[in-house]
Structure 1
Amino acid sequence: MNAEGKTLYVNGKFYTSFEMIENGQMLVDETGKIEDISHEQLEFSDDFKVIDLKGNIVVPGFVDVHMHGGNGYEVMAGTYKDIDEISKFHASHGTTSFLASTAAAANEDLIHVLKSCASSFEKGVSGAELLGVHLEGPFINKRMRGAMDVKQIRLPDLEEMKQFIRTSEDTIRLVTLAPEVEGGLELVEYLHDKGITVSIGHSDATYQEVLQAVQHGVRHTTHHFNGMRPLHHRDPGVAGAGLMMNELIVELIADGIHVHPAVVKFLFQTKGTANICAITDAVKSTGLRDGEYADVHVKDGKIFLSDNPETLAGSSLTMMTGLHNVLQYTGLPLEKVLPSFAIVPARKAKVDNRKGSIEKGKDADFLILDDDLNLLSTFVKGKKVHGPVGLLI
């Protein structure tokens, strides 16, 4: 909450979900919500704080639905400090809200992490807002495990999933699973009926199996092209199904490593920005120097398993870098790319009623950028959580 009352932002270039407003004004109320936004002068009283944006750009805050850690901290550590430090680190790179992503692990370990996430959700964090949990695994296909621990991968279990949901205090918003394995479709139906976004990932499903999964409720793909049956002209697989099926929103790690820049451009040409969900898949070593960290080796931004240098183990990407990369790879203007970083992931996390765009009545989650799209400040619910100390913006 903004204890100092209402704040009026003037002289900014605002990118809303509908238009770009030159020399616009935005009024944020005491609760951190956008009260009004206009290209005309808004009415204000003497007790308003007025901030001159000096012609800088204002865009919606980024929503990351797939992120495991950063700056030496990770979700699977299962502590409030880890979640809080992750939230601060990613806020400094343009993320204003996120889902805490898990990994395949023993039941007791996942229960511990889910309890920690539920507690952190209730308490609140210092940087980007914690929206809930993305449960990635353990119900995936061993053949497409990637960096997941093969010993912790198991068949879908409805009772175990119910236990996860109870333990998380209903904060699980997204689940990645392989629908083609035994029990997969039953779990898809259950989650879909619960209003939880179901994503196909770490999957060796055929095109026909993906079609069947979509009919049961799958609406999302996890880190598209990675950890899935690839596209072949005689076997479209999960990768091809994601490109062809309108029901599926596809995740994209736009680091130029997980997906070639030319394929990133192709994806935007094929699916369009409204059907692409930009993510980081950032891990504990994101933001750290090259070197050896626990079970991974980091070099030139690439993260590999130490015992298997051919296997990528997450990314070192941030949302801000991802935006710059997509703009470079595709040649698209800023307004065409922003939905993939904001409103699309907000929909997948079921928070698009209050996140993902600069609109009247929504949370004042926004970024202030200069003309070169360098991040100056990050605001969450009207509160600055990243930016130069002592400067208004």
Structure 2
Amino acid sequence: MSSLVLHNARLVTPAGVIGQAWLRISGSQIDAVEAGSRPVADGPSRDLGGAFLAPGFIDMHVHGGGGASVVEGEPEQVRRSVAYHRAHGTTGLLLSLVTAPLARMEAAVRRIAILVEQKEPAVLGCHLEGPFLSRRRCGAQDPRFMLPPDPEALGRLFEMGRGCIRMVTVAPEAPGALDLVRRTVAEGAVAAVGHTDASSDQVTAAIEAGARVGTHLFNGMRPFSHRDPGPVGALLSDERVVCELINDGVHVAPEVVQIVFNAAPGRVALITDAIAAAGMPDGDYELGSLAVRVSEGRPALKEGGSLAGSTLTMDRAVRRTVQDARQSLPTAVAAASKVPAQVLGLAKWLGSVEVGKQADLAVLGADLELQAVVARGVWQEAAGRGRPADLLAE
């Protein structure tokens, strides 16, 4: 079994940054983590030069990247997208499917189930972002294919998924939606609230039924008002709920990102909501059945102009959270690793740098740019290397 020692690192933990630490990787697992300088030992090692060593990022909401879309579950497209996001620090992700004809969604889920069963690197499962959503808040989802709550349709999707479906987003206001929430939880998946025009009371009812995630908070939902808090108020105020945030400077203003982190400590999950255009030039793309135009890195539907996902990467989301939203580095990293691992039920082996966990790591240097990624124990260099910086690391 191969081994590798990483030393002279500043280890990022949820409790703070350890000023000097080392760890040893054996195969695909971490088998030692200690504060202090590297012990005398034989074997390969890397001096990280004081760089920050963080857990690999977990993106629980991604539609594509690097010119590839994952919404059909096509293996080569998935692998291309995964490779792109891995190069930006993401070592685990959910393939998020958009609303489409039910037969197409079933076919995509079948393909993803095979990838999961074959242990495709970084693929944690899939997220059904549709078809049980609100047409009034469809965003960049095709309203033609949205369905009212249909337990039979959901049951077929779970049957095709053979355990690969980890999250389902539902608009809770439609009659029968709470039954879908309960069915999702009974299947061992996470029920999420999103693309919804629901009232605060209707969202609270979904939370009582078992919903535990707010899908891209603020986006695709009734706006927050001090007299009509709607989904945002219900999701933010309930300590059982994790709130997704697309921190790209477009979907949510930096001041609002700061408010959310302060209002929901330990309950924010950074996501990218990235589409195939991530990492690609401006131009024309597709999200499911809808035409998208990307201008200055901002994707929007050609018809109607609604934001259509993002071109964000998780390393940029973490960096923006520290530099623009004024959160500590441990807080930002936890929102990109520990929090999603916990809500998805994967914290036993992902989400933090601890003995016995999978050796998924991100090495961050000056201005928190990514220097390298370790995925299942395999080291991969990244561009933009530099000296580490003390950015709100307390």
Normalising to structure 2: TM-score of the pair?
Answer: 0.92
Q: 1:337 to 1:78 in 2, by over 3 A?
A: closer
**Alpha carbons of structure 1 residues 100 and 385: separation in structure 2 relative to 1, 3 Å:** farther
Letter in 2 for 1:158: P
Corresponding position of 1:15: 12
Matches of residues 223-242 of structure 1 in structure 2 within 5 Å?
223-242=216-235
> Out of 24, 28, 37, which is 2:33 matched to?
37
Give 1:100's aligned residue.
95
Q: Please state if 1:148 is matched with 2:145.
A: no
Secondary structure in 2 matching 1:327: helix
Tell me, in whole angstroms, the C-alpha distance in 2 between the residues paired with 1:58 and 1:43.
Answer: 18
Which range moved further: 298-307 or 15-24?
15-24
Asked if 2 retains the 8 angstrom alpha-carbon contact of 1:261 and 1:329, the reply is yes
Letter in 2 for 1:8: V
* Counterparts of 2:14 and 2:304, CA distance in 1: 43
Counterpart secondary structure, 1:146: coil
1:358 aligns with 2:350: no
The percent identity for this pair of structures is 34
CA 327–18 in structure 1, closer or farther in 2 if over 3 Å, else same: closer
Q: Is the 8 A contact 1:205 1:229 kept in 2?
A: yes
One-letter identity of the residue aligned with 2:18: I
Contact 2:7 2:38 in 1 (8 A): no
Mapped pair 1:284 → 2:276 = yes
CA deviation map 1:246-275 (0-9, x unaligned): 222110000111111111111112112x11
1:249 to 239, 242, 248: 242
Deviations 1:275-312 (CA, angstroms, capped at 9, x unpaired): 10110000111111112224111111211101222x11
Q: Which amino acid aligns with 2:243?
A: V
The separation in 1 between residues aligned to 2:17 and 2:77, in whole angstroms, is: 37
- Structure 1 window deviating more from structure 2 (48-57 vs 191-200): it is 48-57
Given that residues 13 and 55 in structure 1 are in contact (C-alpha distance below 8 angstroms), is that contact kept between their aligned partners in structure 2?
Answer: yes
Conserved? CA contact 2:5–2:22, under 8 Å: yes
1:168 aligns with 2:195: no
Deviation of 1:23 after TM superposition, in Å, equals 2.5
- Structure 1: stretches of 5+ with no match in the other structure: 389-393
* Higher mean displacement: 294-303 or 134-143: 294-303
SS of match in other structure, 1:102: strand
Contact 1:83 1:125 in 2 (8 A): no
Asked if 1:157 is matched to 2:153, the reply is no
Number of the residue aligned with 1:183 = 176
1:6 aligns with 2:3: yes
Partner of 1:76: 71
What does 1:248-327 correspond to in 2, within 5 Å?
Answer: 248-272=241-265, 274-294=266-286, 295-309=291-305, 311-327=306-322
In the alignment, what sits opposite 2:392? none
Alpha-carbon offset, residue 41 of structure 1:
5.3
What amino acid sits opposite 1:241 in the alignment? Answer: A
- Post-superposition CA distance 1:84-122 (Å, at most 9, x none): 011100011111100000010111101111111112222
Residue 316 of structure 2 aligns with an amino acid whose one-letter code is T
Structure 1 runs (4+) deviating above 6 angstroms are none
**Aligned-residue RMSD, C-alpha:** 1.6
For the 8 Å contact 1:87–1:125, the answer to whether it is kept is no
Instruction: Give the Å deviation of 1:318.
Output: 0.7
SS of the aligned residue for 1:372 comes to helix
Residue 269 of structure 2 aligns to a residue whose secondary structure is strand
- The residue type equivalent to 1:297 in the other structure is R
Q: Distance in 2 between matches of 1:125 and 1:16?
A: 27
SS at match of 1:198: strand
2:331 and 2:301 mapped to 1: Cα distance? 35
Q: Give the TM-score, by structure 1 length.
A: 0.93
Q: Which amino acid aligns with 1:330?
A: A
For 1:236 and 1:55, how far apart are their aligned partners in 2? Answer: 45
Q: Would the aligned equivalents of 1:343 and 1:352 in 2 still touch at CA under 8 Å?
A: yes
The answer on 1:27 being equivalent to 2:10 is no
Q: Distance in 2 between matches of 1:90 and 1:313?
A: 18
Q: Secondary structure at the match of 1:211?
A: helix
SS in 2 for 1:167: helix
Confirm or deny: 8 A CA contact 2:14 2:331 kept in the other structure. Answer: no
Name the amino acid aligned to 2:146: I
Corresponding residue for 1:391? none
Amino acid at match of 1:276: V
Residues 22-45 of structure 1: CA deviation (Å, up to 9, x unaligned): 221101112x11111001456675
Equivalent residues of 1:10, 1:26 under 8 A apart: yes
Q: Mean alpha-carbon deviation: is it higher for 377-386 or for 77-86?
A: 377-386
Mark the runs of 5 or more structure 2 residues left unpaired by the alignment.
384-394
- Residue aligned with 1:320, SS: helix
Cα deviation, residue 52, structure 1: 1.8
